[in-house]
Amino acid sequence: DAGVTQSPTHLIKTRGQQVTLRCSPKSGHDTVSWYQQALGQGPQFIFQYYEEEERQRGNFPDRFSGHQFPNYSSELNVNALLLGDSALYLCASSPFGQGNSYEQYFGPGTRLTVT
Amino acid sequence: DAKTTQPTSMDCAEGRAANLPCNHSTISGNEYVYWYRQIHSQGPQYIIHGLKNNETNEMASLIITEDRKSSTLILPHATLRDTAVYYCIVRVYSGNTPLVFGKGTRLSVIA
C-alpha cells in the first residue's frame, strides 16, 4: 500500500516565477492538506481540500492556491514566488468526516528553493 | 499559534527510556493531546493521542496529568532511530482539524 507521495522531491525557482507541487494521497483517503515548513520551524497549515473544494485555509496569501482532482490527488500552486517561500512543502492525507479522529499521514515533502 | 510548550532539546542514552514533557495549560475539554515526530528530511509521523487516560501503543506511552495541563510521551527503550523532532499538539477530536505545530523537542539518542 503506497503511502502519500509527492513530486518533485526538490525544486529550484527564481523569484517572481510560479510553481506547482503535486500530491497523491494514501489509498482510501479523500482529504488532502498542505503545510509549509520553513527551516527550523514546525509545519504551518496552508489549506485543505475535500470533494475538490477548499474547505479550510490557514493564514497564507492568495498567491497560494490549490486544486483537487476526482482521483483525490492535489496540486499546490504558488505565484509570484518570494525568497521567503523557500521551504519544505508537506502534503498530508486523511479520510473525511467519519466521526472519529484519524491521524494525518504525511508525505516526504517537496523542498522548494527560491533564488 | 501553538497551544503547547516543549523543551527545545533533550538527550537520551540508547536503550534507556526517553521522557518528553509537554505543557498545555489552556487545553479545552474537547481537545486531545497528539504526538507526532519528524525524522530528518521526512514528513511528520503520527505516534499517539489521548484525552485524559493514559495510552499505550507499539511505539510509545502517553501519560496525561489528571488536570490535563501537561503530558509526557515515553519511548520505553530509545534507539538511534528515535532521534527526531517530537511535536506535542492539542487538537479538537476531528479527523480533519488542521494540526498546529510548535517548534517541538529535538531528541538526540546517544550510543
Q: What is the pLDDT of residues B32-84, one digit of tens each?
A: 999 999 998 799 999 999 999 899 999 999 999 999 999 999 999 999 999 99
Confidence category of residue A96, pLDDT binned at 50, 70, 90: confident
Contact pairs from chain A to chain B, CB under 8 Å: 65
> Which of A31 and A102 is assigned the larger pLDDT?
A31
Question: Residue A58: its chain B contacts at CB < 8 A?
Answer: 98
Which residue in B23, B18, B26, B24 sits closest to B82, CA to CA? Answer: B18
CB contact under 8 A, A56 and B98: yes
- Report how far Cα A54 is from the mean position of its chain's Cα atoms: 12
CB contact under 8 A, B87 and A42: yes
List the single residue in A with minimal CA-CA distance to B101: A42
CB contact under 8 A, B95 and A97: yes
Write out the residues of chain B at the interface with chain A, using a CB-CB cutoff of 8 A: 2, 32, 34, 41-46, 49, 87, 91, 93-96, 98-104
Write out the residues of chain A at the interface with chain B, using a CB-CB cutoff of 8 A: 4, 31, 33, 35, 40-45, 48, 50, 55-56, 58, 90, 92, 94-98, 100-109
CA distance A18 to chain B (A): 24
- Beta bridge partner(s), residue A87: A112
* Residue type (1 letter), A1: D
CA distance A70 to chain B (A): 19
> Which of A31, A96, A104 is closest, CB to CB, to B99?
A104
Q: What is the pLDDT of residues A48-82, one digit of tens each?
A: 999 999 999 999 999 999 999 999 999 999 999 99
Query: How many other C-beta atoms are found inside a 10 Å radius of the C-beta of residue A89?
Result: 24
Q: Quote the pLDDT of residue A92.
A: 95
What DSSP string describes B46-78?
A: EEEEESSS-EE-SS-EEEE-TTSSEEEEEETT-
Q: Quote the pLDDT of residue B2.
A: 77
Mean pLDDT computed over every residue of chain B: 94
Instruction: Give the three cell numbers for residue B85.
Output: 523532532
What DSSP string describes A47-93?
A: EEEETTEEEEE-S--TTEEEEE-TTS-EEEEE-S--GGG-EEEEEEE
Angle at B101 between CA A115 and CA B63, to 5 degrees: 150
Dihedral pair phi/psi, residue B86, rounded to 5°:
-110, 125
